[in-house]
Amino acid sequence: MKQIEGGVCAAKGFVANGVHCGIRKNKEKKDLALIFSQTPAKGAAVYTTNLVKGAPLRVTKAHLADGMARAVICNSGNANTCNANGIEIANQMCELTAAQLGIQPEEVLVASTGVIGQKLDIAPIAAGIPPLAAGLDCHSESAAQAIMTTDTAVKQAAVEFTVGGVTCRLGGIAKGSGMIHPNMATMLVFLTTDCAISAEMLQKALRGDVAETFNMLSIDGDTSTNDMVVVLANGQAGNAEIAAEGEDFAAFMKALNTVTICLCRQIAADGEGATRLLECKVAGAPTLADAKLAAKSVVCSSLFKAAIFGADANWGRVLCALGYSGANIDVDKIEVAFRSPAGTITVCENGAGVDFSEEEAKKILLEKEIEVLVDLHQGTAASAAWGCDLTYDYVRINGDYRT
Amino acid sequence: MKQIEGGVCAAKGFVANGVHCGIRKNKEKKDLALIFSQTPAKGAAVYTTNLVKGAPLRVTKAHLADGMARAVICNSGNANTCNANGIEIANQMCELTAAQLGIQPEEVLVASTGVIGQKLDIAPIAAGIPPLAAGLDCHSESAAQAIMTTDTAVKQAAVEFTVGGVTCRLGGIAKGSGMIHPNMATMLVFLTTDCAISAEMLQKALRGDVAETFNMLSIDGDTSTNDMVVVLANGQAGNAEIAAEGEDFAAFMKALNTVTICLCRQIAADGEGATRLLECKVAGAPTLADAKLAAKSVVCSSLFKAAIFGADANWGRVLCALGYSGANIDVDKIEVAFRSPAGTITVCENGAGVDFSEEEAKKILLEKEIEVLVDLHQGTAASAAWGCDLTYDYVRINGDYRT
């Protein structure tokens, strides 16, 4: 397997585009994206667990009922959530897109991200779809730009891998955090692959992957109403369709996992206001569930995240977060170290502090990517979670008036 | 029942004091507090659920095994947690206090708050206890000052109430958030009453009360390793001892609840960096558990807390927090209003936005105490939760170096 360029257009037969249609006032910002498979494709998705769900999610779910989809239309600037006419607008977006692409509305998935509780006007979208569709090509970056809100960086990833001797590709785009009128930290991920795989196995792969990747990511602990991860598989690679578990499915899972972890890290690093990517790796846990609870608790701790902003080796806050994580932990066995490109420093052994150089620790924590290495010394299960530091800019971005 | 002065010394036979002994470098800051019942007293306590527990909690728990206690010794500036010799130091604090007061070490409860993982030196405490004990009087405020860390205000409350025709008093002190060398948001509450009540009923009262008061309070979502609420009851009021549920117990519970809610509000208002007290009142819930989940989720949302800092009527974030709260909620019935001394404004009905004046909303949200009124329109259960806004100063306080 190797990392390649191309993002959501890396897989054969997938094209994309992004334009500014006028939902956002700033004309420099694209606000409408389209992803299209030139041939029929299997589709799978996972959605937010928030009981308040954006209208686009409900329409997408209905359209994916048969496990097939060919296009994704997505706007930024308005989440189309908690609006009386949200379903109607989301359906119109699918109908307009389908008409332009010559496919059925049921083959189109729809997503929206932005401020919630404000009515979404169909007019700019209706005007934007024709040029958007006309310009479809390998424009992964344009599509990635068009789904950004407070994101400061485009997020793309792709890999090439082999299934049954056949070269396949899998890639995607993602958006990370907040809004121009900051509101909901909505996460959207669109993945495409030319690997032939049944709809059932595609859904199974995605569900399994997300539990270890996007569900282990936190910017601020607020589960959005519009989170959605979609994967489309058009089979253009020509491999024998993956229809059951086995070697081929494992190869597909590995490719999927590589791309999603890459996107997770990009999202975490570009969290609202973030100056540092935070990765907590927990080893030695009695069970996987314990490892995941422990890792996620550390990257979610406001106190620890603020300490990382201050490059403060405040390991007591790591212990505190492990202690309330709900994981089965023997406190007296915990070992904690901090690692970055500047080095590694052990700060806690057997649940108590060890002497360490504050100066060296500070040097390590001033890097852009910080790993918190936790060994529970209670078993062999391991997990990782991703987050970022808590900064003045997070407060500024989210404390601003919407108007 | 009426609110009275006196805090932790309001009840008959209780004295207190606070001094600077030298744990903290700043000589202006008191760092050692003592509370003493001049006659034997029943004691009850509840502790943090964090698996990482401060050494003082373990010693206090052991000393309360018989339901009796007469004194509380508490230092600030160091949490005496995750230290190899923590238990030894906590025991020494009890022994030194007992010797000075002429009681048994097992009658002394001990608490510490401050940075964790740094050894606590017994020397300044040993030197401080004699003058601390010698100065015991109605110094509730001095004791309250001595347990403060990043708190900016002293927290005290007391009431006078009647049990079986006999006038009783119940009061207490609390500390709220963080450290001089900011570390752990430790909450400590010490309550005293002259009401006669059995140890069993005292524990029952405290456990029941805390579920509705301190457990509904959040500054930053980080459960401390040293949280502790202690109540001492010396029976000096002369009422017939409360030994079972009934009218007297209900009167006691009401007094306890009044004092603890008052302290909760003081802690929330003085949360690290806070500029506003946030109270979420949920009504119309199908069950009490749903009401509590919903209310607490709203005051815990980083996004909503940042919006309140910006006086932004961003009700979508309230809906979002309700949606992921875990409560059984029919989204299409949710009603949300914001209330403060400047007025009340409804922002959401039937799960969707209603037209409202942003100007009026801003005026309401610029006040110091903000109520978020949520009606789920699904039943009759209600609950409240307390928190504060998320501000630049929270980040500054917790991002500072420990050193």
Please report the ipTM that was assigned to this predicted complex: 0.76
Backbone torsions φ then ψ of A231, nearest 5 degrees? -130, 135
CB count in 10 Å sphere of residue B300: 21
Mean pLDDT of chain B: 87
Q: Up-side HSE of residue B178: CA atoms within 13 Å toward CB?
A: 29
Contact B266, B157 (CB under 8 A): yes
- Helix A392-399 vs helix B302-309: crossing angle, to nearest 10: 70
Q: Chain A contact for B65, CB < 8 A?
A: no
User: What 8-state DSSP symbol labels residue B309?
Assistant: H
> For tokens 């209780």, what's the residue?
B14
From A113, A149, A186, A192, the catalytic residue: A186
In the predicted model, what is the mean pLDDT of residues B292-305? 89
Contact A353 B118 (CB under 8 A): yes
Nearest CA distance, A353 vs chain B (angstrom): 6
Residue B213 has pLDDT above 80, yes or no: no
Which candidate, B85, B92, B155, places its Cα nearest to that of B129? B92
Backbone torsions φ then ψ of A147, nearest 5 degrees? -100, 0
Q: How many residues does chain B have?
A: 403
Contact B94, B59 (CB under 8 A): yes
Contact B273, A361 (CB under 8 A): no
Mutate to test the interface with A, among B52, B115, B187, B364 (most CBs of A within 10 A): B52
Contact A302 B52 (CB under 8 A): no
Q: In chain A, positions 121-180, which contact chain B (CB-CB < 8 Å)?
A: none
Look up A60 and say whether it is catalytic. Answer: no
Which candidate, A117, A115, A119, A155, places its Cα nearest to that of A33? A155
Of chain A, the percentage scoring pLDDT greater than 90 comes to 52
Contact B394 A395 (CB under 8 A): yes
Which candidate, A64, A42, A36, places its Cα nearest to that of A201? A42
Q: Chain A contact for B302, CB < 8 A?
A: yes
Q: Chain A contact for B88, CB < 8 A?
A: no
Query: Edge-to-edge strands of the sheet including B335-340?
Result: B352-353, B343-349, B335-340, B369-375, B277-285, B381-388
C-alpha B204/C-alpha B259 separation (Å) is: 16
Contact B225 A323 (CB under 8 A): yes
In the predicted model, what is the mean pLDDT of residues A176-181? 40
Residue A79 has pLDDT above 70, yes or no: yes
The H or E element containing residue B170 is: strand B166-175
Residue B403 has pLDDT above 50, yes or no: no
* The predicted structure's pLDDT at residue B177: 60
Mean pLDDT of chain A: 87
* The predicted structure's pLDDT at residue A65: 93
Residue B215 confidence class, pLDDT cut points 50, 70, 90: low
* Tokens at A389, concatenated: 């530091």
* Chain A residues whose beta carbon lies within 8 Å of the beta carbon of residue B83: 352-353
Which candidate, B232, B228, B192, B260, places its Cα nearest to that of B111? B228
Contact A346, A336 (CB under 8 A): yes
Contact B269, B386 (CB under 8 A): no
Residues β-bridged to residue A352: A349
User: What 8-state DSSP symbol labels residue A147?
Assistant: T
Tens digit of each residue's pLDDT (9 = 90 or more) over A325-335: 889 999 889 99
Q: Which residue has the higher pLDDT, B95 or B218?
A: B95
Q: Which of A183-197, A389-403, B43-57, B326-340 has the lowest mean pLDDT?
A: A183-197
Residue B182 confidence class, pLDDT cut points 50, 70, 90: very low
3 state DSSP class of B281: strand
Q: In chain B, positions 352-391, which contact chain A (CB-CB < 8 Å)?
A: 352-353, 358, 362, 390-391
List, in order, residues 6 or more apart from B209 with CB less than 8 Å away: B253, B256, B257, B260
Closest partner residue to B324 (CB to CB) among A49, A314, A353 is: A49
C-alpha B378/C-alpha A309 separation (Å) is: 43
* The predicted structure's pLDDT at residue A340: 96
* Chain B residues whose beta carbon lies within 8 Å of the beta carbon of residue A179: none
* The predicted structure's pLDDT at residue A200: 86
Residue A98 confidence class, pLDDT cut points 50, 70, 90: very high
A229-238, B48-57, B356-365, range with greatest mean pLDDT: B356-365
* The predicted structure's pLDDT at residue A103: 97
Q: Transcribe A158-219 into DSSP letters.
A: EEEEEETTEEEEEEEEEE-S--SS------EEEEEE-S-B-HHHHHHHHHHHHHHTGGGB-S
* Chain B residues whose beta carbon lies within 8 Å of the beta carbon of residue A225: 316, 319-320, 323
Q: Which residue has the higher pLDDT, A137 or B402?
A: A137
* The predicted structure's pLDDT at residue A116: 77
Contact A400 B51 (CB under 8 A): no
* Tokens at B380, concatenated: 């009759």
Which candidate, A382, A314, A381, A379, places its Cα nearest to that of A348? A314
Q: Chain B contact for A81, CB < 8 A?
A: yes
Nearest CA distance, A210 vs chain B (angstrom): 18
Closest partner residue to A52 (CB to CB) among B83, B185, B323 is: B323
Q: Chain A contact for B224, CB < 8 A?
A: yes
Q: Up-side HSE of residue B114: CA atoms within 13 Å toward CB?
A: 25
- Helix B86-101 vs helix B122-134: crossing angle, to nearest 10: 20
Contact B183 A52 (CB under 8 A): no
List, in order, residues 6 or more apart from B309 with CB less than 8 Å away: A395, A399, B275, B276, B389, B390, B391
C-alpha B389/C-alpha B268 separation (Å) is: 9
Contact B225 A81 (CB under 8 A): no
* Chain A residues whose beta carbon lies within 8 Å of the beta carbon of residue B401: 310-312, 362
CB count in 10 Å sphere of residue A186: 28
Q: Between chain A and chain B, how many beta carbons pairs sit less than 8 Å apart?
A: 202
Closest partner residue to B185 (CB to CB) among A116, A183, A303 is: A303
Contact B83 A323 (CB under 8 A): no
C-alpha A110/C-alpha A87 separation (Å) is: 11
Which candidate, B103, B122, B180, B249, places its Cα nearest to that of B402? B180
Q: Which of A78-82, A176-180, A393-397, B246-250 has the lowest mean pLDDT?
A: A176-180
* Chain B residues whose beta carbon lies within 8 Å of the beta carbon of residue A346: none
Mutate to test the interface with B, among A314, A318, A358, A393 (most CBs of B within 10 A): A314
C-alpha B45/C-alpha A350 separation (Å) is: 28
Which candidate, A55, A123, A185, places its Cα nearest to that of B352? A55
In the predicted model, what is the mean pLDDT of residues A47-61? 84
Contact B316 A348 (CB under 8 A): no
Contact A352 B317 (CB under 8 A): no
Contact A305, A278 (CB under 8 A): yes
Residue A92 confidence class, pLDDT cut points 50, 70, 90: very high
Tens digit of each residue's pLDDT (9 = 90 or more) over A340-359: 999 999 999 998 889 999 99
Q: Chain B contact for A320, CB < 8 A?
A: yes
Nearest CA distance, A392 vs chain B (angstrom): 5
